[in-house]
């Protein structure tokens, strides 16, 4: 199961507010040995939100949706989620109890709507103000406020997806072939892509830099440490056999899992 994000709000598309959710989600996943596979930004357009969420419900990814679950007229996510998954909106009993406990009689007539979710939804606890998010199958909805959203995402990952956490983080192993050109090495690159499907292969050509004045390519393998090191050793040997001088690249440890 891969992880994806849907980040909702006109303000993020008009530069009124910079998005903080994407880098935070990447960090949250990385600490658990996981990796973000994709992300989509959507404005406050109900039709577009519904279409985006319909794809999320129809796929197999674990999806986090940020924003639009409040009670104001510009919050459309709850209604769009119901339309996207084909379920009616109902007042979720646990959410109702939390909202009544938080607001008392002031919960009516508007704030109670923050507990109206697609039928069968489960709540996501909010440690900041107790106004919950909700989950429908593998799609999870949290507020747009970072202080609330991020611990709620962590709760979902730790409570419902602990089996996806990886103890061993991936590594990135790289080598630089001096004087190399992409067109001359496509066959060799394809060989290693086919030989090591468990790894992510990268090719970063450069026409010259302060460190290396000549044209060069930095090749890399990301993934499980033993495999990445083995693949790099084999590629290095093949590059030397073709006459290229090699230099160490910018290898990294502790990457998010692939």
Q: Same domain, yes or no, for 44 and 159?
A: yes
According to DSSP, residue 99 is labeled H
In 47-199, which ranges are E strands? 62-66, 89-91, 116-118, 122-124, 133-136, 139-142, 170-178
Q: How many Å apart are CA 165 and CA 31, to the nearest integer?
A: 9
CATH number of the domain that residue 191 is part of: 3.30.70.120
Cα distances from 123 to residues 97, 135, 233, in angstroms, run 11, 6, 49
- Give the residue from 120, 149, 164 where a domain finishes: 164
Q: Same domain, yes or no, for 132 and 233?
A: no
- Give the residue from 126, 146, 164 where a domain finishes: 164
Q: Same domain, yes or no, for 135 and 231?
A: no
Q: Same domain, yes or no, for 186 and 92?
A: no
Q: Same domain, yes or no, for 123 and 144?
A: yes
Q: Same domain, yes or no, for 64 and 122?
A: yes
| φ, ψ (nearest 5 deg) of residue 201 | -100, 140
Q: How many Å apart are CA 154 and CA 254, to the nearest integer?
A: 19
pLDDT in tens, the chain (258 residues): 899 999 999 998 987 889 999 999 998 998 888 889 999 999 999 999 999 999 999 999 999 999 999 989 999 999 999 999 999 999 999 999 999 999 999 999 999 999 999 999 999 999 999 999 999 999 999 999 999 999 999 999 999 999 999 877 788 999 999 999 999 999 999 999 999 998 999 999 998 887 788 899 999 999 888 889 999 999 999 999 999 999 988 766 655 443
206 torsion bin: left (phi>0), alpha (psi -120 to 50), beta (else):
beta
β-strand partners of 246: 177
Q: How many Å apart are CA 118 and CA 169, to the nearest integer?
A: 36
Let me know: does 161 contact 172? Beta carbons within 8 Å.
no
Q: Same domain, yes or no, for 151 and 216?
A: no
Look at residues 118, 55, 69, 70 and name the one whose alpha carbon lies nearest to residue 91.
118
Q: Same domain, yes or no, for 155 and 46?
A: yes
Q: Same domain, yes or no, for 159 and 174?
A: no
Q: Same domain, yes or no, for 108 and 94?
A: yes
- Give the residue from 112, 133, 164 where a domain finishes: 164
Q: How many Å apart are CA 6 and CA 23, to the nearest integer?
A: 13
Rounded to the nearest angstrom, the gap between the alpha carbon of residue 199 and the centroid of all alpha carbons in its chain is 19
**Tally of structural domains, the chain:** 2
State the residue range of the domain holding 213: 170-255
Q: Output the DSSP codes for 117-150.
A: EETT-EEE--TTT---EEEETTEEEE-S-HHHHH
Let me know: does 174 contact 199? Beta carbons within 8 Å.
no
Q: Same domain, yes or no, for 142 and 42?
A: yes
Number of H helices and E strands in the chain, helices first, is 8, 13
Q: Same domain, yes or no, for 138 and 29?
A: yes
């Amino acid at each position: 199961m891969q992880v994806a994000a849907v980040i909702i709000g006109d303000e993020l598309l008009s530069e009124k507010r910079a998005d903080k959710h994407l880098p935070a989600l990447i960090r949250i996943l990385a600490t658990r040995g996981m990796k973000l596979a994709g992300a989509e930004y959507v404005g406050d357009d109900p039709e577009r939100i519904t279409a985006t969420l319909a794809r999320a419900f129809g796929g197999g990814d674990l999806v986090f949706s940020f924003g639009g679950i409040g009670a104001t007229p510009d919050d459309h996510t709850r209604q769009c989620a119901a339309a996207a998954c084909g379920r009616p909106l109902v007042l979720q009993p646990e959410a109702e109890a939390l909202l009544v406990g938080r607001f008392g009689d002031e919960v009516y007539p508007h704030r109670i709507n923050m507990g109206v979710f697609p039928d069968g939804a489960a709540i996501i606890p909010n440690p900041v103000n107790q106004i919950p998010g909700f989950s429908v199958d593998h799609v999870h909805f949290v507020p747009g406020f970072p202080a609330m959203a991020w611990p709620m995402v962590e709760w979902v990952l730790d409570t419902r997806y602990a089996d996806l956490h990886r103890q061993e983080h991936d590594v990135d192993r790289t080598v630089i072939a001096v004087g190399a050109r992409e067109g001359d090495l496509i066959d060799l690159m394809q060989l290693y892509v086919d030989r090591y499907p468990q790894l992510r292969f990268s090719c970063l050509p450069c026409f010259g830099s302060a460190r290396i004045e000549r044209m060069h390519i930095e090749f890399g393998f990301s993934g499980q440490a033993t495999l990445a090191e083995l693949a790099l050793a084999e590629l290095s040997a093949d590059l030397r056999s073709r006459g290229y001088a090699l230099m160490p690249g910018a290898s990294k440890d502790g990457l998010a899992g692939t």
